[in-house]
Structure 1
Amino acid sequence: MHKKDFATWLMLIKKELLLNYRNKTIMISTIIIWILFIAATICTILNYQTDHKQRQSANTLFRQQWEHQKRNPHDAGHFGTYLFKPVNLLNAFDTGINDFTGSTYRVEAHIQHEISDDEAVNNDTAMRFGKLTFALILQLLIPLFLLFNTSTSITNEKESGTLKMLLAQGLSSRKIIWAKVWANYLLIAAIVLPVFIFMAGAVLSSTDSALLLPRLGWILITFSLYFLIISLAGTLISAISSHSGKALLMALCLWIFTGIIFPKIITGIANRSYPLMSRATFSDLVEQGYRKGLTGNDPYAARGERYINSLLKKYQADSVAALPFNINGLTLQFNEDYRSMVFNHYFKSVEKSFDQQQHFLTISGIFDPFLSTKRLSMALAGSDFYHHQQFFKQAQTYRNALIRRLNMQLAMHGKGVKGEYIVGPEYFSRLKDFKYQLPELNQVLNLRKVAFLSLAGWILMLVLFLQFIASRYLAYHYAAA
């Protein structure tokens, strides 16, 4: 592009920005958006502080109860404790599926619990509409505003007759179209960028800023691509529409389909195509597998007897009393290991269905940039299914290690004790707390690379369409007029 052409193009962008600034409808819409952002900020801060304080208080309470007990190590395993999925600022930015999947994991001997205590069960409003978050505004409301603005950007020129004047002055249709695209894109950037600056400041003041700031940067990139797609799509609608009413109707239909109808349809298809085993069925399979063995021919009593005989043979003892440890601790752990094996065996089937559903949704996102953007936003905020799954796996690993340590404490130190073997606060206080490790950013990006490629593909396709429309349709429209 020559320097003169570039200057002309910048002049057109400046003209569009001035028109937007003088447009009362746009200014009122901008004010409404900012009011919503302020409301979302208040909700985000309150939700984050409430959730964070609740988790801290609960962790402190259960830790104190755990440290101050005096009991048999295995009984302490039955007493158990609770693990809570930690909340960070990005979770508040985009709550994702957190309100529906729960945040609490119960640690208990003999029982492998699932994550529970989902907020949506007790909150009908959250279940139906979701919380007012930054992500909700950015994913749905900003695109609606942008589509309405861009879809009439060229039709207004046609209806007012200024398009003929611009073309008659020697301006190319491509310059006109791309001036519309970038002027509206810059308008949205001016509205949205302060939100990300505020979020960056909040993240920098948090204790885990080193982990969250790069994720926030990728969220900014994600929405930058998404808003560019919306700008391109809206301008394309305006270019091919004969009048503003038709353009607005097409834009509204596009917003409803991509943001509401298509995601609902795809989610329903995923649920029907890859149905999940019911919790009752799963629990029954685990219990039967533990009692009768995975093969159905290895009952609980026979397994225990075989294990004790193997210990007697290994230590060359003729009775359990002659063994150099407390047999109860080892048999308890043996049964614990077998129950965990049965749980994991049947859970693989559930996990496979979940993975198939997630893969289906990922592939479906290729056809809907909103779906790809939403899944990227949740993944980078740490509130998608993958992060939920990682919390469950880490919590389960911690639970298994804790129960094993308690049982081995009974086995190694409970031999020859008169009465019941009891340990006190000094022992329990040495047991480490659960620490959830946020998955590596590179791993998250790798899992969501299809979504990024989808957004890039949509941008390329829309750019090519606009170039074609600019060179053929508008020129033909002017010649026919």
Structure 2
Amino acid sequence: MLIKKELLQSYRNKTVLISAIVIWLLFIAATICTFLNYHVNNKQRQAANALFRQQWEHQQRNPHDAAHFGTYLFKPVHLLNVFDSGINDYTGNTYRVEAHIQHEISNSEAENSDTAMRFGNLSFALILQLFVPLFLLFITSNSITGEKEHGTLKMLLAQGLSSRKLIWAKVWANYLLIIVIILPIFIIMAIALLFSGDMDLLFCRFLWILLTCLVYYLLVALLGTIISAVSNQSGKALLSALCFWIFMSIIFPKLITGIANRSYPLMSRAVFSDLVEQGYRKGLNGKDPYAARGVRYINSLLKKYQVNRIEDLPFDIDGMTLQFNEDYRTMAFNHYFKEVENSFNQQQHFLCLSGIFDPFLSAKRLSMALAGSDFYHHEQFFKQAQAYRNDLIRKLNMQLAVHGKDVKGEYVVGLRYFGQLKDFSYQLPPLSRILQLEKIAIISLTGWILLLILLLQFIASRSLALNYAAV
């Protein structure tokens, strides 16, 4: 009865009703913006993939020249990326495949959009993680102080209603109200997933995102009710709740990100590129120059095949030396990239641990990970694209080495060969791996829930009449 009464009271409250309407208008705007953006980006990627595939298949050229011509790989976009774009707008979506050069992922959305760079795009995650908790704190922080100020608290307690029942009725009524508001958007997302063709791949991730939101909102409802229970005036309670929201959602994440960047600084792109080039030219130890390595490699081939002249080798030496140098450049790139990767991993671990002190940070990291838009998924795309690139360049060089020796003039291949080379296919990491990586975030949210429940139980064990008397 108490919960029903609270829900009816919220329904009749014009401020609550207007706030709910505003949230739904934001949802509608986000739906239009994000699904249009998803449709356009997906269409552009498919068109670009088809164009590059057509160009690749219909070329007539030397295999190594084809390696220089190269191609482009695009980070795939699915509906959960639409839900939470995470860092995708800032990390790029295109990988260039080219011989002799190990490219990084480029062409981020934010590069061409000042608004996206400054404020980020309007997404479901932004609304659910920022505006909905603010609304929930607004209604919960006023839940008990409103009873005090209207003089109804003393009447309710005098009728034999316990403080514990009253407090938990407030918590569950406001929590159910938020569920009623947000549930339709998740139903729409589920229907969209059903018709997207990625249902089997993404649905479990979607359910975990829903669970994350529900847990986080319960946490916010508990926090807001605690603030209301210990406050004597609605104005002070609302101000306290607003301060909590600003600190958890804006100040602390910015502060922690800045500390992570200063504590584990990244090597600049110019320095990294110079190190890779010097490592390739002079050797990783600085004492193995490019020319000497090449001579030593050719001599090892002559010895292996027991011949005295390069012309007597059973393959085209150009293809073999090209691949040898390619392997060494890749080794130099990976050698120095480990340092960059280590700095990234240290930053991510620091941010993950910081989520213990801020449940918003934990909820946001978990949401991005489940949506496939966090740093780990970006890193996985890069590694898979790099592996595809290395394998493709090796196939082209070895094609030249194996079949180019006895050809008069330039060795050229065409549609039959290029057409049988496979396209790049990005594989999402398994959900179990994501949950393992984000176990600290899961533990953090669970721990905060238990802590706030214990605190609320402690407050409820003390009669609210004592606080009411102090008003």
TM range (shorter): over 0.9
Query: Residues of 2 paired with 1:480 and 1:430: CA distance?
Result: 81
Structure 2: unaligned runs, 5 residues or longer: none
Which residue in the other structure is 1:442 paired with? 432
What is the DSSP-based 3-state SS (H/G/I as helix, E as strand, rest coil) of the residue aligned with 1:399?
A: helix
What is the DSSP-based 3-state SS (H/G/I as helix, E as strand, rest coil) of the residue aligned with 1:83?
A: strand
- One-letter amino acid of the structure 2 residue matched with residue 401 of structure 1: D
Query: Residues of 2 paired with 1:354 and 1:206: CA distance?
Result: 33
Question: Contact conserved, 2:163 with 2:462, CA < 8 A, in 1?
Answer: no
Following superposition, the deviation at residue 457 of structure 1 comes to 0.5
Which residue in the other structure is 1:380 paired with? 370
Query: Residues of 2 paired with 1:152 and 1:477: CA distance?
Result: 15
Which residue in the other structure is 1:84 paired with? 74
Which residue in the other structure is 1:341 paired with? 331
Question: Contact conserved, 2:69 with 2:98, CA < 8 A, in 1?
Answer: yes
Following superposition, the deviation at residue 480 of structure 1 comes to 6.2
Aligned residues: 471
Q: Choose the corresponding residue for 1:276, options 266, 274, 282.
A: 266
Query: Residues of 2 paired with 1:257 and 1:415: CA distance?
Result: 68
Q: Choose the corresponding residue for 1:38, options 28, 33, 53.
A: 28
CA deviation map 1:430-466 (0-9, x unaligned) = 0000000011011001101110110010110000111
Question: Contact conserved, 1:78 with 1:109, CA < 8 A, in 2?
Answer: yes
1:368 to 2:346 alignment: no
Structure 1: unaligned runs, 5 residues or longer: 1-10
Alignment of 1:126-141 (within 5 A): 126-141=116-131
1:389 to 2:389 alignment: no
Alignment of 1:193-342 (within 5 A): 193-342=183-332
CA deviation map 1:7-63 (0-9, x unaligned) = xxxx11111001000000111111111111111111121011011001001000000
Query: Residues of 1 paired with 2:242 and 2:462: CA distance?
Result: 26
Alignment of 1:166-177 (within 5 A): 166-177=156-167
4+ residue runs over 6 A deviation: none
CA deviation map 1:277-330 (0-9, x unaligned) = 000000000000000000000000000000000000000010000000000000
Query: Residues of 2 paired with 1:208 and 1:341: CA distance?
Result: 36
What is the DSSP-based 3-state SS (H/G/I as helix, E as strand, rest coil) of the residue aligned with 1:367?
A: coil
* Percentage of identical aligned residues: 75
Alignment of 1:424-463 (within 5 A): 424-463=414-453
Following superposition, the deviation at residue 110 of structure 1 comes to 0.4
1:411 to 2:401 alignment: yes
Query: Residues of 1 paired with 2:164 and 2:182: CA distance?
Result: 27
Query: Residues of 1 paired with 2:163 and 2:352: CA distance?
Result: 37
What TM-score does the superposition give when structure 1 sets the normalisation length?
Answer: 0.97
Which residue in the other structure is 1:6 paired with? none
Following superposition, the deviation at residue 416 of structure 1 comes to 1.5
Q: Choose the corresponding residue for 2:40, options 47, 50, 65.
A: 50
Query: Residues of 1 paired with 2:467 and 2:419: CA distance?
Result: 80
Question: Contact conserved, 2:80 with 2:206, CA < 8 A, in 1?
Answer: yes
Which residue in the other structure is 1:124 paired with? 114
- One-letter amino acid of the structure 2 residue matched with residue 55 of structure 1: R
Query: Residues of 2 paired with 1:191 and 1:76: CA distance?
Result: 55
Following superposition, the deviation at residue 476 of structure 1 comes to 2.6
Following superposition, the deviation at residue 475 of structure 1 comes to 4.5
Following superposition, the deviation at residue 477 of structure 1 comes to 2.5
Question: Contact conserved, 1:240 with 1:473, CA < 8 A, in 2?
Answer: no
